[in-house]
């Protein structure tokens, strides 16, 4: 363990001791069997004390304590996060609007669903709700950890506000959507500290398997007693209990709960709140990923990607004109043109007495008028053509071909034209605006493909544009001109094919699809309806995080599978390490199987018990951190884990037990 984890373990020790309560342990049958055995050996050690019986008893109790410690450490992280959230929760006074139009001041705890409250700059939002009037900047650092304020406004998908956050500017009216004690922060507190954690289906299934194996080994050990007696060798109950504890799957039984809690914690560290462990587990089994194009795969704002001059115009002249016409254009498109020109080597300086011509829906173009009488315009092809024609200029014969080529490539063409100082107008060329794919997306989708996950891009664009973006991004498929109904049909079709589906959304129109999907990640900036429909909430409102969610889910499943493999391999190895040493006195022929040449039967048994306890401690960091996830196919991943954790799990007990036996052999009182 590192220093930080050791300190956390020390802080969690009191919780681990409290968990020795059998009412708690009975929920974990494997560890409960160890507890029963520990009680039995304790009684026997009092009646017939010996170095061996007392040592076994101590290490059995330590085994239970270490198992509890793993769970306590995992829960401790969540409780620390919960304490931080509790500090942010304040009991505020709300300014509730009355039906007749006035205001009344009431405690935030008295607000009910449907109430409307006024919140102004410097005031705390008293409860979860949607902005129904106004726009304001809100400090959500208490929830997201992000210090930069965010904009919340009515009438869109960025209207949801969270109780406990602070309005920094302006005035908004909020309609309350949650009951007192059921706010987002309240749910976050309950979830991160594990109060509402329920065992997932896979976890329940594995628990049943471990219980079954435990019952089998109980029967097997019970059968050894009469066999030994028949052979003339009485075997003490302490030895039988020690043997049972060594053979049952105590390692994974001790770590199973911690693995599940740690999976939830890893999501929280990524600022994603899972409403249930089932959602995290489902994320690991996802086979179809639905992602919106805008803001997820692409930046969402069209950017200048290229310039195409007409015949007779140099590329440099077109870049210069495009840049000058965009100097006063504060739109994302305008700024991207200036950035593109700078990358091409042209940097414009401020020009005095320039008249800016803003874009309007009527003119569909913008530009500048220069002091020397010249002018530059950029905009829709038909609008710029009309401007040139009005000034007596002529259409460039190849302009239509340039515009059509850009349109067919899925881009947006902006035609650039200029008027000389003498009044002559001419076409210069076309700016190719495209919804730029975010860097690294193609590589990430390739990783998804290696994982066996099919990616589908959803967009409202026409099929031509969608196909171009889909090809560039490297997604497997796309759904163009998508409506909420189309999304639902696609999700249901995938699920009917036996596939688990994950998707993101932030609007009320996304709520049905989020509810239908197996993993629905709602954006924190979205509407309350979207957050209620999804089973995860991304506090950063980053749609690309869905890919990380899937990776975390897979890591959870891989960690659980790897440590289960290691635990069972351990048990098999301990069987062949202990049994020959135990029965070599009765059956001398077994000496050939005693390959480790352990000091004595008692030393062999005690060494196994000590190793069984210490291996739990050794695996706590791995259970909390998770097994490293790699984008490999299922077969390759299985081979790797069998090699590392299967073969490693067989070898480790032989090495560990032998080393402990060497130490015990020099301790007085151990035969």
Q: Which residues are catalytic?
A: 292
Query: Do the Cβ atoms of 17 and 11 come closer than 8 Å?
Result: no
Rounded CA-CA distance 179/493 in Å is 36
How does strand 536-538 pair with strand 272-274? antiparallel
The closest alpha carbon to 624, from 560, 571, 564, belongs to 560
CA distance readout (Å), 262 to 74, 188, 462, 621: 6, 16, 43, 10
Rounded CA-CA distance 44/172 in Å is 71
What are the structure tokens assigned to 25, written together?
Answer: 């342990």
Query: Residue 536 forms beta bridges with which residues?
Result: 274, 521
Residue that is written with structure tokens 């969610």 in the block: 549
Would you mind telling me the total number of residues written for the chain in this entry?
671
Which residues of 121-169 form beta strands (DSSP E)? 129-139, 150-153, 160-161, 166-167
How does strand 116-120 pair with strand 129-139? unpaired
Query: Do the Cβ atoms of 597 and 657 come closer than 8 Å?
Result: no
The closest alpha carbon to 111, from 167, 180, 187, belongs to 180
Q: Following DSSP, what letter does each residue of 431-481 receive, concatenated? A: EEEEEEEPTTHHHHHHHHHHTT-EEEEE-SS-HHHHHHHHHHHT-SEEE-S
- 3-state DSSP assignment of residue 494: helix
What are the structure tokens assigned to 168, written together?
Answer: 């920094």
Cα atoms in the Cβ-side hemisphere of radius 13 Å centred on 206: 24
Residue that is written with structure tokens 């007085």 in the block: 668
Rounded CA-CA distance 312/309 in Å is 8
- 3-state DSSP assignment of residue 130: strand
CA 237-238-239 angle, 5° bins? 90
Query: Do the Cβ atoms of 650 and 96 come closer than 8 Å?
Result: no
Rounded CA-CA distance 565/644 in Å is 10
The closest alpha carbon to 609, from 55, 207, 5, 135, belongs to 55
- 3-state DSSP assignment of residue 420: coil
What are the structure tokens assigned to 612, written together?
Answer: 């069984």
Name the CA radius of gyration of the chain, rounded: 34
Query: Do the Cβ atoms of 163 and 178 come closer than 8 Å?
Result: yes
Query: Do the Cβ atoms of 96 and 103 come closer than 8 Å?
Result: yes
Rounded CA-CA distance 551/568 in Å is 26
97-114: burial string, b at 16+ Cβ within 10 Å, e else: beeeeeeeeeebeebeee
What are the structure tokens assigned to 589, written together?
Answer: 């022929």
């Amino acid at each position: 363990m590192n220093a930080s984890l050791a300190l956390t373990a020390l802080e969690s020790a009191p919780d681990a001791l409290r968990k020795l309560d059998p009412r708690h342990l009975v929920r974990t049958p494997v560890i409960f069997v160890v507890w029963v055995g520990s009680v039995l050996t304790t009684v026997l050690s009092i009646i017939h004390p010996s170095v061996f019986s007392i040592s076994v008893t101590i290490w059995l109790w330590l085994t239970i304590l270490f198992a509890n410690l793993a769970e306590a450490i995992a829960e401790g992280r969540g409780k620390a996060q919960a304490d931080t959230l509790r500090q942010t929760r304040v009991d505020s006074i709300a300014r509730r609007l009355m039906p007749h139009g006035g205001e009344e001041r009431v405690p935030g705890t008295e607000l009910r669903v449907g109430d409307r409250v006024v919140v102004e700059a410097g005031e705390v939002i008293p409860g979860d709700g949607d902005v129904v009037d106004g726009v304001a900047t809100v400090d959500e650092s208490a929830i997201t950890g992000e210090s930069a304020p965010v904009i919340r406004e009515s009438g869109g998908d960025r209207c949801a506000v969270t109780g406990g956050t602070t309005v920094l500017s302006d005035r908004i009216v909020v309609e309350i959507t949650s009951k007192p004690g059921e706010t987002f922060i309240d749910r976050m507190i309950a979830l991160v500290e594990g109060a509402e954690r329920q065992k997932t289906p896979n976890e329940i299934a594995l628990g049943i398997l471990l219980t079954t194996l435990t019952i089998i080994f109980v029967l097997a050990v019970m059968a050894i007693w009469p066999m030994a007696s028949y052979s003339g060798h009485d075997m003490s109950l302490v030895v039988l209990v020690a043997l049972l504890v060594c053979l049952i799957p105590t390692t994974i039984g001790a770590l199973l709960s911690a693995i599940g809690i740690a999976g939830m914690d890893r999501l929280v560290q990524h600022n994603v709140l899972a409403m249930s462990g089932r959602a995290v587990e489902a994320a690991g089994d996802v086979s179809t990923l639905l992602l919106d194009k805008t803001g997820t795969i692409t930046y969402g704002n069209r950017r200048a990607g290229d310039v195409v001059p007409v015949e007779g115009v140099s590329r440099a002249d077109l870049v210069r004109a495009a840049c000058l016409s965009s100097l006063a254009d504060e739109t994302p498109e305008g700024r991207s043109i200036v950035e593109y020109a700078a990358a091409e080597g042209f940097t414009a300086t401020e020009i005095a007495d320039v008249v800016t011509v803003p874009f309007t829906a009527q003119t569909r173009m913008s530009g500048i008028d220069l002091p020397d009488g010249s002018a530059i315009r950029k905009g829709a092809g038909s609008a710029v053509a009309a401007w040139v024609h009005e000034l007596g200029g002529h259409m460039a014969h190849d302009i239509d071909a340039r515009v059509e080529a850009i349109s067919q490539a899925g881009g947006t063409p902006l035609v650039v034209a200029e008027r000389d100082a003498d009044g002559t107008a001419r076409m210069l060329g076309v700016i190719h605006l495209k919804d730029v794919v975010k860097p690294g997306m193609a590589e990430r989708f390739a990783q998804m493909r290696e994982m066996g996950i099919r990616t589908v891009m959803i967009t409202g664009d026409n099929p031509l544009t969608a196909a171009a973006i889909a090809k560039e991004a490297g997604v497997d498929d796309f759904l163009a001109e998508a409506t909420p109904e189309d999304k639902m049909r696609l999700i249901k079709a995938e699920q009917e094919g036996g596939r688990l589906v994950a998707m993101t959304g932030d609007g009320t129109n996304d709520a049905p699809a989020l509810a239908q999907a197996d993993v629905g990640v709602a954006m924190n900036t979205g509407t309350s309806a979207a957050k209620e429909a999804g089973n995860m909430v991304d506090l950063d409102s980053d749609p690309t995080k869905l890919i990380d969610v899937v990776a975390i889910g897979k890591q959870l499943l891989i960690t659980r599978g790897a440590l289960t493999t290691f635990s069972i391999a351990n048990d098999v190895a301990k069987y062949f390490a202990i049994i020959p040493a135990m029965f070599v006195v009765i059956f001398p022929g077994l000496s050939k199987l005693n390959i480790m040449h352990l000091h004595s039967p008692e030393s062999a048994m005690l060494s196994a018990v000590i190793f069984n306890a210490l291996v739990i401690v050794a695996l706590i960091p791995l259970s909390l951190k998770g097994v490293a996830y790699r984008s490999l196919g299922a077969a390759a991943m299985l081979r790797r884990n069998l090699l590392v954790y299967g073969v490693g799990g067989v070898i480790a007990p032989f090495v560990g037990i032998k080393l402990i036996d060497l130490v015990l052999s020099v301790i007085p009182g151990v035969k």
